[in-house]
Structure 1
Amino acid sequence: MVNEGGSDSNIVVTINGKKYAVPPEFSATSLNDFLRVHLQLTGTKVMCREGGCGVCIVHAAVPTGNGKFQERSINSCLCPILSCDGWEITTVEGLGDQKNPHPIQKQLTEHSGSQCGYCTPGMVMTMYSTIRKEGKSLTAIQAESALDGNICRCTGYRPILDAFKEFTNESASPVCDIEDVSKRICSKTGKQCNGVCDDNGSNYFRPLVEVARAAAPPWYRPTSLADLYKLLENSTLKNPYYVCGHTGIGVYDDGPYDGFISLRGIREMFVTDKKDGVITIGSGVSLTDMIDFFKSEAETDPGFAHLEHFARLISKTAHPAVRNAGSWGGNLAMRNRHKEFPSDTFIALVMCGASVFVGPDEKSYTPEEFVNLDLKNKIVTKLTLKPFDKSHVFRTFKIMPRSANSHAYVNAGFRAKILKEGNQLVIVDRPVLAYGNIAEEFIRASNTEEFLIGKNLADNDTFQRALTTLAQEIQPAEDKSEASPAYKRALAVNLFYKVRVCIIYACSCTGFRTYYGERSYLE
């Protein structure tokens, strides 16, 4: 384990082809501040410092431990510079300049996609990362969705989207080979960047002022769970921050922190595996990787087809750059610490009946048990998921003020085992009706779940009684900054109505007439 002491605890990060050895006193410095203040690379902008506006986005190539790199867009305002050990960062200066613009920059200019220009570097870097990931398979909807976390306050999004859609496989006249777009242009030579300047340039960066250096909390880098547990056992830290994606700071800042514990070197926490029919996901796995893994499993294993609905829900969490960095474990821990947090991950885990493991004793908990657990000197290590047969129906929903990058008014996950007998849809066993953002202690509509056991969901009278029961137990808390309790209650009830319609449609029952005719809408 490497701690805060000694010159050997420097981290090494490559930025636009140059390597920098950053000492541990930069523990409280973000990548954004390091770029702008200490390297004077001011092309990367800063505004909200919460990961919400997108002006700070840069491209990061993160080592995966097998000699390969995982390339993603990240919010530099949320990312600590010391967590970038071994990373290769590309900023807008590393793509091109006015003399030798990158194809993405050129297209944005030609489509009049920049007015004040403050958001433009973040837009460009988001698109660069997206093209690096998707390549020639990039679709117009993927290009549009990639910008969920980029806000433009003056130009309007149409010219920006028109510019970026020129790089998709749906473009009528592609501007250039997509492989050329993913390359960087050297600002000195105008030629393709090979990753390292011939003369290596200057590796100098402005040091911290003495006051900041003295106030910097210690930075710990355990390399195994055993190291981590030993650190926690001997630690005197009262309020440490466990650093994985460090995106939670954009929602809740529970500082000041008297120490940072980086989890990125603990490989056990980044495992995705399936053995003996059970899926295991390490707590450090990012939401993006979780989504990709679940989509793959849903397509190839009928027992985990329901994970498509899990992936759909957490695909609406924040935006791509946050999901690229933020882990599901951190998201769940935030739900533990802040009971009011409407975590999409938590709702999906409740719906799927997941088991959450907490170290050092590696005891498993249901998600409902976990949120009330005291996590002092404890850490979420992994979760496991079991398969379900095709008699189970799953649905997830997230109703929010806008289509992306927003907390939910109400989010929900439903699971039911259905026995179809003619036009009867009998609910076998106890279903799951999980709701988020109703009240701090509300998780499942237990009275309604109890009522539905053994009931015929296709019977109108029975269903009306279920709706009445649900409306009675859904009692949203009053919050002037949120939607009204009446609105949230109506949403919760109506989502359950929609679930019933979906089940009837999925089970091909006849004799029922609804206004929902499109399969995509019901699924």
Structure 2
Amino acid sequence: PVSLAGLTRLMARLAAAGKAPRLLCANTAMGVEKYYPSDGDAAAVYRWDPSAAALDGCTVVEVKDVAELLAVAPTPKGGLAVGASVSITALIDALEGAAGEEGGDEEGKEGGGRPAPYCVMARHLRRVANVQVRNAGSWGGNLMLARSRPAFPSDIAVVLAVAGATLTVLKDPTSLATTTMSVEEFLSSDASLPLLLVSVELPPLPRSSSSGAPPSRVFSTF
């Protein structure tokens, strides 16, 4: 499918046929999900289960070409909205671009030399996985993996949660009716529910004032 409407129609047809499809963007998760149990059993982490990531017998639906899931745009409130199929690398580029548009210099720094908040996020996301995975894998897929595998340590989930990001999801993937929830609510939701992640909205983060005075709150990661 190339549109969200087309995706929901396909999901409805598959549901009517009694099939529970697996949605994939780049399938980079297959390299790590086999090491993390879906029940969150910490004692079972790193016990390789080759069947955990198997797609045998699954109906696979690719979402990498769904236009709405690839959208990147500023929000009316000065934040940033990013579709769930956007790659981690493209998310990094969008954050750095937004930081520049907000007044940061070519290195994404504010007048006082402090990195702009979006650049702090981008810098942290560069630590996720490796170049190949960041280029192919989506940030949305990373969150879906963290939701289905509670023991999986997702840096992306942490950064988005701390930033106060809001997720737009389809609670019923056969319908276009959306709802919003926090990252924490999404990750703690019942993994058996077929939520479809559509996008994330990042709020404008605190910055230095025009006079160079530091903000009352500083966004930083380690």
Number of aligned residue pairs: give it.
Answer: 175
Which of 265, 274, 290 pairs up with 2:91? 290
Aligned to 1:366: 182
The CA distance in 2 between the partners of 1:237 and 1:255, in whole Å, is 18
Match of 1:227 in 2: 6
- Trace 1:457-496 onto structure 2 (pairs within 5 A): none
The one-letter code of the counterpart of 2:2 is T
1:321 alignment counterpart: 132
Helix, strand or coil for the counterpart of 1:335? Answer: helix
Out of 311, 332, 352, the position equivalent to 2:122 is: 311
SS of equivalent to 2:157 = helix
Q: Cα offset for 1:256?
A: 3.8
> What is the CA-CA distance between 1:255 and the residue it aligns to?
4.0
Deviation at 1:366, TM superposition (A): 0.5
Residue of structure 2 equivalent to 1:407: none
**Mapped partners of 1:245, 1:256: distance in 2:** 15
Q: What is the 5 A alignment of 1:259-408?
A: 259-276=59-76, 277-302=78-103, 305-359=116-170, 360-374=176-190, 376-390=193-207, 391=215, 392-397=217-222
How far apart, CA to CA, are the structure 2 residues paired with 1:354 and 1:384?
6
Note the C-alpha offset of 1:302: 4.9
Cα distance, 1:326 vs structure 2: 0.3
In 2, distance between residues paired with 1:233 and 1:372? Answer: 26
* Residues 320 and 363 of structure 1, relative CA distance in 2, 3 Å threshold: same
Asked if 1 retains the 8 angstrom alpha-carbon contact of 2:118 and 2:205, the reply is: no
Q: CA 1:286–1:326 in 2, change beyond 3 Å: closer, same or farther? A: same
Answer 1 or 2: which has greater strand percent: 1
Residue 33 of structure 2 is matched in structure 1 by: 252
Preserved CA contact (<8 Å) 1:223 1:267: yes
> Does the 8 Å CA contact 1:278/1:385 hold for their aligned counterparts?
yes
**Distance in structure 2 (CA, Å) of the matches to 1:346 and 1:275:** 21
Q: How does 1:127-206 map to 2 (within 5 A)?
A: none
| 2:19 equivalent to 1:237 | yes
**Which residue in 2 is equivalent to 1:24?**
none
Amino acid of the residue matched to residue 230 of structure 1? R
Please say if residues 233 and 377 of structure 1, whose CA atoms lie closer than 8 Å, have aligned partners that are also in contact.
Answer: no
Three-state SS of the structure 2 residue aligned to 1:269 is helix
Q: Deviations over 1:299-320 (max 9, x none)?
A: 2315993111111111001110
Which runs of 5 or more structure 2 residues have no equivalent in the other structure?
A: 35-51, 109-115, 171-175, 208-214
1:230 Cα deviation (Å)?
1.9
CA gap of 1:267–1:284, structure 2 versus 1, over 3 A, is same
Alignment of 1:442-461 (within 5 A): none
| Structure-2 separation of matches of 1:247 and 1:363 | 27
3-state SS of 2:221 partner: strand
Q: Which has the higher relative contact order, 1 or 2, with Cα contacts under 8 A spaced 6 or more apart?
A: 2
Confirm or deny: 8 A CA contact 2:124 2:221 kept in the other structure: yes
Q: SS in structure 2 opposite 1:395?
A: coil
Contact 2:96 2:122 in 1 (8 A): yes
Whole-angstrom CA distance in 1 between matches of 2:203 and 2:62 = 30
Aligned to 1:49: none
Contact 1:302-1:389 at 8 Å conserved across structures: no
Amino acid at match of 1:295: E
Give TM-score scaled by structure 1 length.
0.32
State how far apart, in whole Å, the 2-side matches of 1:378 and 1:337 are: 11
Identity %: 31
Other-structure match for 2:41:
none
Q: Over residues 286-337 of structure 1, what are the superposed CA-to-partner deviations in whole Å (9 max), with x where a residue is unaligned?
A: 0001111111212231599311111111100111011000000000000100
Any gaps of 5 or more consecutive residues in structure 1? 1-221, 398-523
Q: Give the SS at the match of 1:317.
A: coil
Cα distance in 1 for residues equivalent to 2:19 and 2:61:
10
- Aligned CA-pair RMSD: 1.9
Q: TM-score, normalised by structure 2?
A: 0.73
Q: Distance in 2 between matches of 1:371 and 1:250?
A: 21
Where 1:396 maps in the other structure, the secondary structure is: coil
